[in-house]
């Protein structure tokens, strides 16, 4: 298996490669200066590089590369004929020999002409420098093209000649090695150490420790990684806590379900044994069978509600959404419950507007919520006279409510009624309710992006369900 390089190793390798490339680029630059440009700026040249000490022209090719040439002047001129003061120390000087390709028309120079030609800031096209060989009476004037030198890179190759390319290598490498050492220490502190801390935190999180956090102060890029890691760890810790809570809730629900199923099953078993043993009088056999049937229905409802509860509590459960007129759906369900409510002796008050209030919903699940509210109003309103249903829609939301004028719900129970198996004591003794209806309704409404709640208002128990509504 091929081992992958670390970021630190790659960065160090890149830096070393950069140093090597920089060094060789510098060396090639010096060589190109020597080969292509020649001696560089004549201001930095020694006279003997063009004219040797005996008066021999040895380096005309150097000036030719810069568009220049050499002119030998007549013998006998005075020493110091060119001065900074511009004073005329002699007469005219004739050109007696030309080396290279002459670019101007002058064959005679006065001392003033020579002064202007050798001035570095003059306006002439060509700049010259005066050479007086040590062992020769001849005098020479060397020219170079001002325009060529203005666009040329200049370097004093005497430095190269004095030290040489190998010596430059020797001088360069110790400094390069020192730079590599310093950069290594810097990268270790700024990159490797933070990465090691981050990797340790990841391994800790990987092992299952959702409480793992990274606390380091480093560069902005690493701080973003650290912040993201800590946020992820916090989210995982929250999810773990939620899962543990969900498991405890489900275990509690199963415990409650087992308790609620045990009673009707025991009754069914007892009556079945009595029937089998012939212990039930003939005139009571029909009543016993009806009791068995009723208890079986209760077990079926308990298991059905529990299945629905577990199914709805699954985050992967998908709703079958469609656009529905909530007013029309509420009317249909009121019609279904109308006879049952009125036959129980209640006044059934319905207040549903004629307009459409469209909502996006799973029709079957939303119908279950409304049915639960109507059933609870009918089942638990023992002392009341009225059951009312109303519907309203405004500001992008639709609100339906079911109210009754029965006894106020116990306040301790009111805070728990939308949780699984939450029922008043009276319900356990009388109606056989599962205690899951309102909990299922809450989950359904939350999955629709809505809510459901209870309040006591104007002497009435009011259950209200809210849904986001489309434009109406």
What is the structure's pLDDT at 73?
87
End-to-end CA distance of the chain: 65
Residue 62: inside a domain = yes
Strand, helix or coil for residue 179: helix
Give the orientation angle of helix 437-447 with respect to helix 363-380, to 10 degrees. Answer: 150
Whether residues 299 and 331 fall in one domain? no
What tokens were used for 346?
A: 């209640």
Residue 196: inside a domain = no
Whether residues 285 and 382 fall in one domain? no
Strand, helix or coil for residue 352: coil
Question: How far is Cα 275 from Cα 296, in angstroms, rounded to an integer?
Answer: 16
What is the structure's pLDDT at 14?
67
Written as one string, the DSSP assignment of 276-322 is: HHT-S-GGGHHHHHHHHHHHHHHHHHHHHHHHHHHHHTSTT-----E
Whether residues 444 and 344 fall in one domain? yes
Query: Nearest Cα to 201, choosing from 190, 189, 193, 209?
Result: 209
Counted domains in the chain:
3
Residue 136, Cβ density class (10 Å: 0-12 exposed, 13-18 middle, ≥19 buried): middle
Whether residues 377 and 422 fall in one domain? yes
Compute the 3-state secondary structure of the chain and give helix, strand, coil in percent, each to the nearest 5: 55, 15, 30
CATH assignment of the domain containing 281: 1.10.287
pTM: 0.48
**pLDDT tens digits for the chain (472 residues)?**
445 556 566 666 767 777 777 777 776 666 665 554 444 454 455 667 788 888 888 888 878 888 889 999 886 444 444 443 344 445 678 889 999 888 888 888 887 777 777 776 667 788 888 888 888 888 888 888 877 765 543 444 444 444 445 555 565 667 667 777 777 777 666 666 777 777 777 777 777 777 777 777 766 666 777 777 788 888 888 888 877 877 777 777 677 677 777 888 888 888 888 888 888 888 888 888 888 888 888 888 777 777 787 777 777 778 899 999 999 999 999 999 999 999 988 999 999 998 889 999 999 999 999 999 998 888 888 878 899 999 988 778 899 999 998 888 877 777 778 876 555 443 433 445 556 788 888 888 988 899 999 999 888 999 999 998 876 5
Residue 303: inside a domain = yes
Question: How far is Cα 125 from Cα 112, in angstroms, rounded to an integer?
Answer: 17
Whether residues 384 and 274 fall in one domain? no
Whether residues 414 and 376 fall in one domain? yes
31, 206 contact by CB (below 8 A): no
> Which run of H or of E encompasses 240?
helix 220-277
Residue 18: inside a domain = no
What is the structure's pLDDT at 228?
79
Whether residues 354 and 306 fall in one domain? no
CATH assignment of the domain containing 431: 3.30.565.10
What is the structure's pLDDT at 409?
82
Single out the residue in 99, 123, 154 at which a domain terminates: 154
Whether residues 117 and 238 fall in one domain? no
Single out the residue in 117, 134, 154 at which a domain terminates: 154
Query: Nearest Cα to 8, choosing from 176, 189, 142?
Result: 189
138, 70 contact by CB (below 8 A): no
Whether residues 328 and 412 fall in one domain? yes
What is the structure's pLDDT at 137?
83
382, 407 contact by CB (below 8 A): yes
Single out the residue in 272, 293, 312 at which a domain terminates: 312
Whether residues 329 and 293 fall in one domain? no
373, 402 contact by CB (below 8 A): yes
Residue 4: inside a domain = no
Residue 193: inside a domain = no
Whether residues 345 and 428 fall in one domain? yes
What is the structure's pLDDT at 38?
44
* 365 phi and psi angles, rounded to 5 deg: -70, -40
Whether residues 339 and 459 fall in one domain? yes
What is the structure's pLDDT at 205?
77
What is the structure's pLDDT at 425?
43
Residue 444 belongs to what domain range?
A: 322-468
Please list the residues that pair with 99 across neighbouring strands.
70
Residue 271: inside a domain = yes
| HEC secondary structure over 369-427 | HHHHHHHHHHHHCCCCCEEEEEEEEECCEEEEEEEECCCCCCHHHHCCCCCCCCCCHHH
Residue 35: inside a domain = no
């Amino acid at each position: 298996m091929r081992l992958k390089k670390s970021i630190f190793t790659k960065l160090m390798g890149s830096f070393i490669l950069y140093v090597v490339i920089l060094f060789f680029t510098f060396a090639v630059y010096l060589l190109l200066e020597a080969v292509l440009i020649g001696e560089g700026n004549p201001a930095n040249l020694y006279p003997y590089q063009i004219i040797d000490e005996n008066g021999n022209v040895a380096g005309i090719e150097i000036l030719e590369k810069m568009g220049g040439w050499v002119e030998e002047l007549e013998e006998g001129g005075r020493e110091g004929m060119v001065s900074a003061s511009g004073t005329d120390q002699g007469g005219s000087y004739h050109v007696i020999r030309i080396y290279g390709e002459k670019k101007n028309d002058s064959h005679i120079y006065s001392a003033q002409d020579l002064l202007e030609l050798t001035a570095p800031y003059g306006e002439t096209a060509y700049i010259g420098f005066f050479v007086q060989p040590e062992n020769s009476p001849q005098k020479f004037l060397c020219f170079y093209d001002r325009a060529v030198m203005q666009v040329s890179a200049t370097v004093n190759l005497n430095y190269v000649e004095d030290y040489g390319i190998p010596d430059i290598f020797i001088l360069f490498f110790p400094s390069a090695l020192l730079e590599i050492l310093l950069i290594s220490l810097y990268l270790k502190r700024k990159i490797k150490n933070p990465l090691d801390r981050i990797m340790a935190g990841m391994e800790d999180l990987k092992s299952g420790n959702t409480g793992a956090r990274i606390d380091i102060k480093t560069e902005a890029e690493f701080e973003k990684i650290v912040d993201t890691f800590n946020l992820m760890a916090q989210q995982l810790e929250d999810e773990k806590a939620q899962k543990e809570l969900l498991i405890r809730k489900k275990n509690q629900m199963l415990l409650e379900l087992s308790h609620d199923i045990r009673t009707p099953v025991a009754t069914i078993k007892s009556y079945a044994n009595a029937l089998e043993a012939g212990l039930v009088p003939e005139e009571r056999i029909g009543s016993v069978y009806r009791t068995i049937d009723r208890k079986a229905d209760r077990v079926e409802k308990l298991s059905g509600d529990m299945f629905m509860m577990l199914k709805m509590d699954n985050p992967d459960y998908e709703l079958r959404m469609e656009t529905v007129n909530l007013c029309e759906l509420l009317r249909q369900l009121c019609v279904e419950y109308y006879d049952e409510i009125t036959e129980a002796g209640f006044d059934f008050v319905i207040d549903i507007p004629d307009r459409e209030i469209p909502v996006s919903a799973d029709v079957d699940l939303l119908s279950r919520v409304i049915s639960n509210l109507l059933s609870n109003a009918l089942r638990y309103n023992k002392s009341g006279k009225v059951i009312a249903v109303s519907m309203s829609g405004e500001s992008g939301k639709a609100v339906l409510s079911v109210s009754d004028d029965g006894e106020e719900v116990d306040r301790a129970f009111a805070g728990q009624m939308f949780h699984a198996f939450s029922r008043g004591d009276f319900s356990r003794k009388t109606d056989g309710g599962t205690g899951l209806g309102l909990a299922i309704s809450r989950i359904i409404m939350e999955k629709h992006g809505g809510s459901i709640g209870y309040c006591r208002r104007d002497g009435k128990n009011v259950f209200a369900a809210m849904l986001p509504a489309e434009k109406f």
